Structure 1
């Protein structure tokens, strides 16, 4: 057994025992000895801790010395992390190269991140193409971003289809966005059902929206209860709508 392999195995034991400080030092020794998996794991630990410069050095070493085929996808994960770091350090061109490399081998998160980078740099048409590929591969985040893009163009039918995909992927924000589209398309009752689902998922803004639609359809008692919950949660506009609700009640009398 090489020294690097020995350092790696002891580092894994210390990490499993919760002694991360010792594990990190041992991973450093293993990485410096040319151990690819140790370099990859150390890069991940350092990246999560915001130590991007050192993380990058170890990720580059992992790519240079090679990573094992099992578990699959380590090279792509390494490239995605390098893309993230290069983007954080103000180098979008290098970030794009890393994301493209991983995306070309089917890494869905890399494709999603690439789309985000392209959109941030004003390349919306390219971003749309990449997000479509990622959404087709099952990325709910890409579907949601794409839904916003096509919705801004006025294509509410496709936006709704994409948002339903994102909702199926358990994105709470997508539930709210889908509710807004259902309301725009004249279906307040499905919008209410969606906002109830968002409220159950902890979306405080959805409480306010639910209260407004309940007012729209004349469910004033539940609207008042819901808007008071929104007011208690700090939604300032809820107070104004409670006053309007009280006025509506007076008109009914």
Structure 2
């Protein structure tokens, strides 16, 4: 019978971490995850109970313990409170950039219309672009694949259909302005979505990201972590404290995690009620 004393389960988990670190070093990858590994190894006393529970619940499942620890490492490396704040700032900046694109594209469309009118009415012309195909060719002049595979066919189309069949250049600016103005930002993956759903940044964002990472690696998603894995509040608190290297004044405890989970359950109930027929 396997001996599951704390020292043994701690050694099993730490051996997984040491093996992962050595692999990263050998391949010169994931330095940020190695930082997290060093934190966990350096705070082993705080993790004895957590490792015992992890091994008890995942040790018999092929690859599950390794995948769980990997999810913890990647979440702490990518979705630390500082990184989550950067992501939130990036979202705000993207919203601002889209607004500027809409504004500037509309301004450019108006200028292009004015230039076209002046070409037609002023008696002067500037030998500037008037056909969108010419713009495409100029924009792609350094693109070897375009010149090899697309340019001749595009020229044939331009010769086959005269100007009235093509959108004017200012129409493209109109389309870009409308596209930017109507943009609705969405997270590109479930973990980003989970980590940035709150109205303001907090330590809860890390737990949201961790739970999303666990779900993404669950058997329901063709992963190895048992679907519906339930870890105690104390284990989750210890893992977060050590992975994020929280100091004595910033530690989270089991009560914090319990309250967080209750808020998440309440939010889920509200969402389900909103979509119920």
TM-score, length of structure 2 as denominator length: 0.23
Per the normalisation by structure 1, the TM-score is 0.25
More helix by share: 1
Give 1 or 2 for the bigger CA radius of gyration. 2
